[in-house]
Amino acid sequence: MSKDDDDESDNERSSRKPNPIDAHVGTRVRLRRMLLGMSQEKLGEHLGLTFQQVQKYEKGVNRIGASRLFDLSRVLGVPVQFFYDEAPADLVDSALAPGFAERPTESYVIEFLSTREGLELNKAFVKITDPRVRRSVVELVRSLGGEEPID
């Protein structure tokens, strides 16, 4: 690698766009925090941070160090691996042996569940106890989304 290559990669790192892995980890922090019904302020209190620092972690603007990630896993009640789960396939190391790597689920599901609407819809849906009503809700949402019903 030449000196020009080093300068170029330094410029890429210092640009405003977050590193994709940092952004993914931040999204997972936000997802878990929201699933627990915890505010950014409350999470910050547990970690000795301001809610603005938590915001920056969740957006991937600030990188989360190893010890902080460990603390986050403890406070949010998940293993450290949780923050890397569902990482987009193009970001995951391609050195994984074929047949041993789990197939990533569709990332749009995680993105949707990371939104307030997705979280609210999911929480409300799981409270429906009647299987026929649940099936009707699924069919309604499919039809509203323009998807054909599954027999």
Task: Output the average pLDDT for the chain.
Answer: 80
For 128, residues 6+ apart whose C-beta sits below 8 A from its C-beta are: 134, 137
pLDDT higher than threshold 60 for residue 143: yes
Contact 29, 40 (CB under 8 A): no
Q: Could you read off the pLDDT of 2-55 as tens digits, one per residue?
A: 555 444 444 444 557 888 889 889 999 998 998 888 999 999 999 999 999 999
Confidence of residue 57 (pLDDT cuts 50, 70, 90): very high
| Tokens 């986050």, residue located | 72
- Measured N-to-C along each axis, helices 51-59 and 20-35 cross at an angle, to the nearest 10 degrees, of 120
